[in-house]
Amino acid sequence: MENTAYVSLSSQAALWRQMEVVANNMANANTPAFKSEVAMFKEYSVKTKSDATPFGRKISYVQDVGMLRNTAEGPLASTGAPLDVAIHGDGYFTLDTPSGPRFTREGHFRLDETGMVVTAAGYPVLQQNDQPIVVAPNEANITIAADGTISTENGNIGKLKLVKFENEQDLTKAGNGSYQTTSDPSPVDKPVLSQGMLEQSNVQPILEMTHMMKILRTYEGVQNMLQNEHDRQIKAMPILSQSQQA
């Protein structure tokens, strides 16, 4: 029973982890630029001391090895806001935060009280010279070109810094829709941006719901197996007791 229980509990823990990931995906189905994730697992085998197990000389458990992010571009939605910017293809905006540079695809920007272009969380959005972008009080018409150049009626005021990474899976969540990494970014040679638009979440709710139902069925199956094994042992106890007394 112990081996069966350990293997079953290992499977249930993995299924529960999958459920958490799916639930988080569904909760962020309307979060701009959110990327869906999948929990990744692998088989972990342990040698047994005896051949007298249903599994032979090895018992296989489930080991959590991390997350795989779906980096596919989400659909674009028109907002008409001059400081909403969507990225087509590769690229991340570069942000200046107290904890160091952060990167995001969520281009929902605004002006703070000083005229600086910042994220919804208040982090300055950097231009190519690693300086923040500041709009003068008398500048009202803000235009963001496809290559990231920002201009007003008084001329160009900067160019958004777009970067890319060799392996986007190295990026880890840093809160507020941003990412951090120890890997060095490289510039996007020919960025393509759309002003007045936002990238939406790439979560597909119907697929996530289907996945959730499958996980629930599997979880129930493992639970039933545990219960059946428990019932089998309960029924076997009187028989074993009688055999020992004979």
pTM comes to 0.83
pLDDT in tens, 94-146: 999 999 999 999 999 999 999 999 999 999 999 999 999 999 998 889 999 99
Which pLDDT score is estimated for 1? 47
Q: What is the mean pLDDT of residues 188-194?
A: 96
- Provide, rounded to the nearest whole percent, the portion of the chain with pLDDT above 90: 69
- Provide, rounded to the nearest whole percent, the portion of the chain with pLDDT above 70: 81
pLDDT in tens, 75-86: 999 999 999 999
For 241, the token pair is: 């007791």
Can you tell me the distance from the alpha carbon of 72 to that of 243, in angstroms, rounded to the nearest whole number? 64
Average pLDDT, the chain: 88
pLDDT in tens, 193-228: 999 999 999 999 999 999 999 999 988 887 777 766
Q: Higher confidence at residue 154 or residue 3?
A: 154
